[in-house]
Structure 1
Amino acid sequence: KHKSAWPAKLSTRRFKSLHGAVGQALDLSPKEWPETPRTVRRRISKSEKLFYEALKALRDKQAKELNIDPTLIASRSTLVRLSLEDGEERKQILPWQRELLNL
């Protein structure tokens, strides 16, 4: 049986609309393609790395005491953002997370 590249459950109207949009995109020259957004990343400083490691150790300790998965307190990416010196992420986490992480 041949497997189609198209989603299996599309109404006729949606299929025609999607097929038309894909056709228009395929007709574009490479110069007309949208630019891929670039994420600017910077390397974390030594002090930020040390803070990240301390936060991770505290998170892991708290999780062990509570008998829960550490990522329920804060994911790796949240810990990385919390360790950055701008402090913006601290405003985004919940009060109970701040309390468990001593922030």
Structure 2
Amino acid sequence: MDIFELISLKGTSRILLALHRNGQLTYSELVKIIGYSTTTSRALKRLMKLELINRKVLDKDYRPVIYYLTEDGKELVKIIQQLLNFQRKIIEAKKDKTSKQ
């Protein structure tokens, strides 16, 4: 799987960006952000398999699990942010061009 395929998969970029903004989140917090538990679950498994995120059990009895970015995940977020900034520039340039016509 190449990088473009990975970040285009449903929920993947949103999870990475949410973890970047918040530092760490529980599964239920991520579901609220993504909106679908199945999508969130699949994306989390995929991201853990690629070692872009990790999970940690906070309390063995209660079992709250938090997810957080690995160093590779943090690097990927930087790339995603650059792509989003580039996309914004293109959209703004098109708006400016259209409004001048």
Which structure ranks higher in relative contact order (CA pairs < 8 Å, sequence separation ≥ 6)? 2
More strand by share: 2
More helix by share: 2
Q: Which has the larger Rg?
A: 1
